[in-house]
């Protein structure tokens, strides 16, 4: 299988997306009742963080396992279980016991029954992982489909858009069978455009990258128009004008699909901007830290949100403007999640609790803060390959390079996905977090 190369701009998308996830949950927990109209309008757009999660996951998984073969399946599924399945099980148990602070059960059997329910449906934000695990199960089939339809991916996208539109209509207007409607958010079919669409983009990553960069202003303008359209649909329904195009802050409605697609492209552009070569080492360090800790931020955030909720944090909105309270809460939760993840990543439980390999305690404080020379100053750039990844030859800017394989170079991969210097590096995370 081909070696993975870091897509720095995709890594930079992860902390941005986690800000969106935390903002969504913060609004749900701490927006006051009198601000319901405005907070629901914001939630309508912030829900895109979920679709971005699935899109990035599918895209990076396809990019990393483009050459997945039958002999690789055992290793593939084991790695997926370690990186997603084990953290899911661990954090479901953690949140189950964390809930004992303000929850009592009639008997042990009732408590165990609730635990089984949590495992089956996902605790709060953890259902994201249930959805992506469903995608893992069928990923070899999806990959085979995308390879077989190579040259017709435009048609594939068109079918996906129609399928997503139909599913959203059926879900929003309660046309689905009751079991499907009840567990809609845990059903991977609800995100078919973002999951399989992410795989399609992986096959054309260089072309998509160049198009989005070249048409950045168009992407931003169209996304803004899509946001205005979605909000117009929301307010028209709220004021009783018409609900024919949708209503409420329900993320499963057709009106938000154009915005979701545009917003994902905009987050990609933010990632591109954050890793520009002229960025200061400090900014690059913050971005890298946010990327490294993004999975842990996603997993741990509810510890802090539920603690603040239990201690009546919402009362602060009585003396401080509620948007400022929301902003302050996002900063607090994000910072606390980063700190907790950074600590957990340096313990033997790093992999099950953060999805990261254990790192030395000596790296907790950046070298420049300790007055030591940075790695860039001590070692010439590109002097050594990453410890976690195979060596990859990096050509001069503007030259295409083939994907690296363990011990050989695959010309077929190079012709399929040319990678100029703008796509240089390695990515260690295919979970989208």
Do 333 and 20 contact (CB within 8 A), yes or no?
no
- Count structural domains, the chain: 1
Q: Does residue 429 belong to any structural domain of this protein? A: no
Residue 83 lies in a domain: yes
For 152, phi and psi rounded to 5 degrees? -130, 25
Q: What is the mean pLDDT of the chain?
A: 85
CA–CA distance, 111 with 88 (Å, rounded to integer): 19
Which pLDDT band holds residue 235 (cuts at 50, 70, 90)? very high
Instruction: Give the pLDDT confidence of 395-405 residue by residue, as tens digits.
Output: 333 344 333 33
Residue 12 resides in a domain: yes
Q: Is residue 430 part of a domain?
A: no
Spatial separation of the C-alpha atoms in residues 128 and 9, rounded to whole Å: 22
Neighbours of 50 (CB within 10 A): 23
354 pLDDT band (50/70/90 cuts)?
Answer: very high
On whether residue 3 sits in a domain, the answer given is no
Residue 405 dihedral angles phi and psi, to the nearest 5°? -115, 165
In this structure, is residue 428 part of a structural domain? no
Q: Is residue 22 part of a domain?
A: yes
Average pLDDT over residues 350-356: 92
Q: Is residue 432 part of a domain?
A: no
- Is residue 66 within 8 A of residue 402, CB to CB? The reply is no
Residue 256 pLDDT > 50, yes or no? yes
Given a cut of 60, whether residue 313 has pLDDT beyond it is yes
Domain residues for the domain of 112 are 8-423
């Amino acid at each position: 299988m081909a070696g993975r190369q870091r897509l720095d701009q995709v890594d930079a998308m992860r902390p941005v997306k986690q800000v969106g996830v935390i903002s969504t949950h913060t609004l749900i927990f701490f927006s006051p009742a009198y601000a319901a109209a405005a907070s629901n309008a914001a939630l309508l757009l912030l829900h895109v963080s979920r679709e971005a999660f699935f899109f990035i996951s599918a895209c990076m998984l396809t990019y990393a396992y483009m050459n997945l073969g039958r002999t690789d399946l055992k290793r593939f599924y084991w790695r997926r279980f370690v990186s997603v399945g084990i953290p899911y099980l661990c954090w479901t148990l953690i949140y189950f016991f964390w809930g004992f602070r303000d929850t009592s059960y009639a008997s042990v059997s009732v408590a165990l029954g609730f635990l089984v329910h949590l495992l089956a449906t996902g605790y709060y934000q953890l259902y994201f992982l249930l959805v992506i695990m469903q995608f893992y199960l069928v990923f070899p089939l999806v990959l085979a489909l995308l390879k077989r339809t190579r040259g017709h991916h435009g048609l594939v996208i068109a079918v996906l858009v129609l399928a997503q539109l139909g599913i959203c209509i059926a879900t929003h207007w309660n046309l689905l069978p009751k079991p499907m409607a009840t567990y809609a958010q845990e059903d991977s079919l609800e995100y078919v455009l973002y999951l399989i669409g992410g795989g399609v983009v992986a096959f054309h990553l260089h072309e998509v990258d160049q198009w989005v960069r070249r048409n950045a202003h168009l992407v931003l303008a169209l996304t803004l128009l899509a946001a205005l359209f979605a909000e117009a649909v929301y307010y028209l329904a709220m004021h009783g004008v018409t609900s024919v195009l949708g209503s409420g802050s329900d993320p499963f409605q057709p009106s938000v699909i154009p915005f979701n697609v545009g917003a994902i492209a905009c987050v990609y552009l933010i990632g591109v901007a954050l890793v520009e070569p002229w960025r200061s080492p400090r900014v690059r360090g913050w971005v890298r830290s946010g990327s490294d800790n993004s999975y842990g931020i996603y997993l741990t955030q509810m510890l802090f949100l539920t603690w603040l909720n239990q201690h009546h944090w919402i009362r602060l909105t009585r003396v401080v403007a509620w948007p400022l309270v929301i902003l302050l809460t996002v900063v607090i939760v994000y910072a606390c999640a980063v700190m907790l993840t950074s600590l957990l990543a340096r313990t033997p439980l790093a992999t099950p609790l953060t999805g990261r390999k254990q790192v030395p305690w000596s790296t907790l404080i950046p070298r420049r803060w300790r007055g030591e020379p940075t790695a860039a100053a001590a070692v010439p750039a590109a002097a050594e390959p990453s410890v976690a990844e195979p060596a990859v030859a990096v050509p001069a800017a503007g030259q295409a390079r083939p994907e690296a394989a363990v011990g050989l170079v695959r010309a077929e991969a190079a012709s399929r996905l040319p990678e100029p210097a703008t796509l240089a590096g390695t990515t260690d995370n295919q979970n989208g977090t």
